[in-house]
Amino acid sequence: MELQLTSIIFIASLLTLFSSIRSEPSGPGCDRCHPDDYNALMKIYNSFNRPYILASWHPNGNCSSWYCITCDPTTTRVIALDIEGKGIAGEFNGPVPIPAAISNLPYLTSLTLRKLSNLTGPLPSSLANLTRLQRLRLDYNKLTGAIPSSLARLSNLNSIDLSHNQFAGQIPSTLSNLSMLRDLHLDHNNLSGHIPDSFGQFAVSPMYLYLSHNQLSGAVPAALGKVDFARIDLSRNRLVGDAGVLFGDGKSTDTLDISRNYELEFDFSNIAFSKNLVSLDMNHNKIYGRMPIKMSEIENLQFLNVSYNQLCGEIPGFRHGFDSSSFVHNKCLCGPPLPTNCTRS
Ligand SMILES: *[C@@H]1O[C@H](CO)[C@@H](O)[C@H](O)[C@H]1NC(C)=O
Ligand SMILES: *[C@@H]1O[C@H](CO)[C@@H](O)[C@H](O)[C@H]1NC(C)=O
Ligand SMILES: *[C@@H]1O[C@H](CO)[C@@H](O)[C@H](O)[C@H]1NC(C)=O
Ligand SMILES: *[C@@H]1O[C@H](CO)[C@@H](O)[C@H](O)[C@H]1NC(C)=O
Ligand SMILES: *[C@@H]1O[C@H](CO)[C@@H](O)[C@H](O)[C@H]1NC(C)=O
Ligand SMILES: *[C@@H]1O[C@H](CO)[C@@H](O)[C@H](O)[C@H]1NC(C)=O
Ligand SMILES: *[C@@H]1O[C@H](CO)[C@@H](O)[C@H](O)[C@H]1NC(C)=O
């Protein structure tokens, strides 16, 4: 009985492994792709040392039935290259950089190289040649070096995800020049320096900005107060000073995380809140003052953590009940769900 069960589990996991390696072709195919694109793809294939994940890329002269590419049937140009690993051993043959030949696919609108644990090295400067690129997703790899400011030349980009890599150095201030950009993920890297003041000038509204888990220091630029962030995550950096500018009742913010900067310090008493707020995390800072009574009116607040700050006074009544761990370790917060009674005078 036990043996049977074990073999069923074994077969099931083999099937899962097999089906997860064979992904679907990513979009409508061409009978025959443009020869320039075919040549570029073969160069990429060879630079990657003909990895198992691209086993469908038979050198057949026409790219037909190749996985991970999307070819526009009317122009026969390759418009998307989307390679997504599953972290299974053997997808890639060992550490490889992003091939420079990718810049020889000038019609790309989408480039994805993600979850490829053997993809390493810096972003090639030739990436800046892909001027039609709208979406760049290079998350969960082992990419290193600086984020090149030349990315700002790709004026059609609306979404950039470089998160979960080992990028270091400063955030290029020019990224805010991307007038279509609405989604910027630079979190979980080793970026240092300040958040650029220019990040108060993103053109698209609302904007999604993720900078958490880096080494960013200095003040939260006051200019960020001008931007309507739908989501903003600045947690786990070394930011200091006033993050109050990120709040505001005219905004559509649903998620705001400034937790674990340790030195963010501002008066919380008169903060106003987005009506859309669902999640607010500001634990481990030096935020002081009272919790505004109006917080109880935020209809959809599902997650709240103000623990480990310097807050004082009565905890407002919330529609959604929060347990004491959301409020512990403040200067003198009182009332339920904390055990401390408020002494009214
Ligand atoms: C693509 O090339 C292969 C090998 O040369 C051939 O068998 C196949 O028919 C070609 N497909 C098209 C659509 O031309
Ligand atoms: C990465 O490369 C090593 C060889 O250096 C290989 O053993 C490993 O399976 C590869 N990992 C993936 C996810 O392809
Ligand atoms: C791509 O960019 C590199 C360096 O940035 C440049 O030398 C090269 O000429 C460009 N190639 C194309 C096809 O535009
Ligand atoms: C960004 O925009 C500013 C002003 O709008 C301009 O001076 C600067 O040259 C631009 N930088 C890039 C890299 O496009
Ligand atoms: C991150 O950057 C710091 C310097 O800013 C450096 O000392 C450290 O080794 C880097 N860590 C990683 C994992 O690259
Ligand atoms: C709030 O944050 C503190 C500190 O990280 C943690 O111990 C606690 O479990 C958190 N509570 C909630 C509800 O997230
Ligand atoms: C808090 O107030 C309640 C009711 O007024 C009382 O029963 C309780 O003893 C008080 N607790 C403390 C710790 O003072």
Inside any domain, residue 40: yes
Cα 159 to Cα 139: distance, rounded to the nearest angstrom: 12
Q: Tokens 């979980």 map to which residue?
A: 188
Q: How far is the CA of 125 from the centre of ligand 4 (A)?
A: 18
**297 located within any domain:** no
Please report which ligand is nearest the Cα atom of 71. Answer: 1
Q: Is the peptide bond prior to 51 cis by the omega test (within 30 degrees of 0)?
A: no
CB 224 within 8 A of CB 197: no
Determine the atom of ligand 4 nearest the C-alpha atom of 176: 1
H or E segment and range at residue 44: helix 35-47
Let me know if residue 272 belongs to a domain. Answer: no
Please list the pLDDT of the chain residue by residue as tens digits (345 residues). Answer: 444 444 444 444 444 444 333 344 444 567 899 999 999 999 999 999 999 999 999 898 888 888 999 999 999 999 999 999 998 888 888 899 999 999 999 999 999 999 999 999 999 988 999 999 999 999 999 999 999 999 999 999 999 999 999 999 999 999 999 999 999 999 999 999 999 999 999 999 999 999 999 999 999 999 999 999 999 999 999 999 999 999 999 999 999 999 999 999 999 999 999 999 999 999 999 999 999 999 999 999 999 999 999 999 999 998 888 999 999 999 999 999 999 999 865
- CA angle, corner 206, sides to 107 and 196, nearest 5? 80
CA of 91 to the centre of ligand 2 (A): 7
- C-alpha to C-alpha distance for 161 and 172, rounded to whole angstroms: 14
Residue 42 maps to a domain: yes
Report how far ligand 1's centroid is from the alpha carbon of 56 (Å). 13
The verdict on residue 20 lying in a domain is: no
Residue 71's CATH number: 3.80.10.10
Return the pLDDT at 343: 83
User: Residue 89 has what pLDDT?
Assistant: 86
Q: What is the C-alpha to C-alpha distance for residues 48 and 35, in angstroms, rounded to an integer? A: 20
Taking the centre of ligand 3 as the mean of its atom positions, its distance from the CA of residue 126, in whole angstroms, is 5
| Positive or negative torsion for Cα 23, 28, 30, 33 | negative
Q: Is 174 in the pocket of ligand 4 (CB under 6 A)?
A: yes
How many domains in the chain?
A: 1
Q: What is the pTM of this model?
A: 0.89
Measure 80 CA to ligand 1 centroid, in angstroms. 21
* Cα–Cα–Cα angle for 265, 238, 291, rounded to 5 degrees: 30
What single letter denotes the amino acid at residue 280?
L
267-284 burial: b if 16+ Cβ within 10 Å, else e: ebeebebbebbbbbbbbb
- Whether the Cβ atoms of residue 235 and residue 211 lie closer than 8 Å to each other: no
> Are the beta carbons of 263 and 286 closer than 8 angstroms?
yes
Contact predicate 110/81, CB 8 Å: yes
| Residue 120 structural domain | 25-129
Instruction: Say what the pLDDT of residue 344 is.
Output: 66
* Chain Cα centroid distance, residue 13: 30
Q: Is residue 69 part of a domain?
A: yes
User: What value does the mean pLDDT of the chain take?
Assistant: 91
DSSP, collapsed to helix, strand or coil, labels residue 140 as coil
Q: State the residue for tokens 């401390």.
A: 340
Tell me whether residue 120 is in a domain.
Answer: yes
For ligand 5, atom 1, which residue shows the shortest CA distance? 190
For atom 9 of ligand 5, the residue with the nearest CA is 190
Label the pairing between strands 110-114 and 120-121: unpaired
pLDDT digits (tens, 9 = 90+) for 274-287: 999 999 999 999 99
Is residue 41 situated within a structural domain? yes
**What pLDDT is recorded for position 12?**
43
State whether residue 81 is helix, strand or coil: strand
Three-class DSSP category at 53? helix
Minimal-distance CA residue to ligand 4 atom 11: 174
Residue 12 makes CB contacts below 8 A (sequence gap 6+) with: none
Residue with CA nearest ligand 5 atom 7: 190
